[in-house]
Structures are given as structure tokens and as C-alpha cells.
Amino acid sequence: MGESKYIQQFKKGSFEMILLCLIAKKETYGYELIAELNETGGKIFGYAKEGTIYPMLYRLQSADLVQGRIASSKANGGQKKYYSLTTKGRETLRELITFWRSYTVSVNSFIDTVEDLEA
């Protein structure tokens, strides 16, 4: 059975913030980003694919939150696009994290009132 649309909405809303977190850690490229995403969050978020991640990265880029730099790759002889956060991206992520923390506290306080449902 597929997951409910509510769960899908949660995931959709937080995915771009997660990408920003991964890019904030270090300058990274598509494959590495997807591998890390799947390794850490694959079980909960479902395994991400290029078809989903690329358009998100383009959106973050056009919103000027992320910047891309194309450089030759010594490892495979081709080129790689390395992503890093812009100043605006860093500020936005900080803002999102602050909001997320207070958001979860608030949501948890509602959840705590109906905890008996989980029994």
C-alpha cells in the first residue's frame, strides 16, 4: 500500500531544506548528494533519484540559494557540477532550521495530548 498523501506532503515540504543541509556541510556534486541522502534518510524518505533531485537543485539555484561550479573531475576524466550555498542560501537555511525547531516543538505538544492513540 502506498503512503498517505499527508506523509508525502511532509516529505515534499522538507526535502529542499534537507538538500540545503547537505550542501551546507561541504561543496558536493549530484551523485554524492543522492548517495548521502539515501544513506542517511533513504529508509524514511524513500530512495531519492536524479529525476527528483535535479529539478530541486535547479530551483534552489534559480532562487539564488545554491550556486553551481563546473569543474573537471580527475577521478573519471569528465566534468562535475559542484554545489555550494550562497550567502542567501546560508541565511535561508538558518531561518528554516530555527523555524523547524520551534515547529517540531509546537507539533509535538499537540501530539503529546493524544499520545494514548499510539498504545
Partner 1 sequence: MRAEYIKKVKQQLAVSRQQKCELIRDLNEAFDSAKEHGETEKQVINRLGSAKAFVNSIHEQFGINGIAREQRKKRMQIGIAITIMSISFALGIIIRTASVPENVIGQANSMTSIQIEGRAIDPSLLFMSFGSAALVIAVALSIRYIRGKRRRNHEA
List of residues contacting partner 1 (CB under 8 A): 29-32, 35, 49-52, 54-56, 58, 73, 75-81
| Grid coordinates of 78 | 569528465
Alpha carbon 19 to chain centroid distance?
A: 3
Residue among 50 and 91 whose Cβ is closer to partner 1? 50
CB 61 → partner 1: shortest distance, Å? 9
Encoded amino acid at 61, one letter: Q
CB 91 → partner 1: shortest distance, Å? 25
CB 7 → partner 1: shortest distance, Å? 17
The dihedral of CA 72, 75, 77, 83: what is its sign?
negative
Residue among 27 and 50 whose Cβ is closer to partner 1? 50
Residue among 58 and 99 whose Cβ is closer to partner 1? 58
Q: 3-state DSSP call for residue 114?
A: coil
28-29 vs 79-85, strand pairing mode: antiparallel
